[in-house]
Amino acid sequence: MSRNIRYSESFKMEIVREMETQGLNAHQVRRKYGIVGGGTVEHWARKYGNGLMGKVIRVERPKDVDERGKLKERVKRLESLLADTNLELALERQYTRVACERAGIEDVEEFKKKALGKQRTGP
């Protein structure tokens, strides 16, 4: 039989203050005070803390920021090129299908294989 334990607001704030001033993590505090709930102390830290508990603070040099910006721009450019290429491929497939229909060719895949074979064996 599990029992619900209620903690006062002042107790919760004192626990969070202790974590922040002594550099303790949630696991250490739970063990010290016998707090059973897995995420209980973390929740208190988010609610009552100074906002730094569990946060990752990234320190970057200007060179790193510039490089990251350049990489993001490159990814955008490559994604745009990929979208254009996919659109061109879809259009080419449709043109081939329409051309085969108009020429009376029923098997488009067979036509493509023959066309590719002629390109490779050409002069």
pLDDT at site 54: 57
pLDDT, residue 61, reads: 85
Residue 101 predicted with pLDDT over 80: yes
Average pLDDT of the residues in 61-81: 91
pLDDT tens-place string over residues 86-96? 999 999 999 98
All structural domains of the chain with their residue ranges: 9-48, 62-121
Q: Which residue has the tokens 């493509």?
A: 112
CA dist 61 to 32, 58, 64, 65, 73, Å? Answer: 39, 10, 5, 7, 19
The model's pTM is 0.41
Local structure of residue 55 (DSSP, 8 states)? P
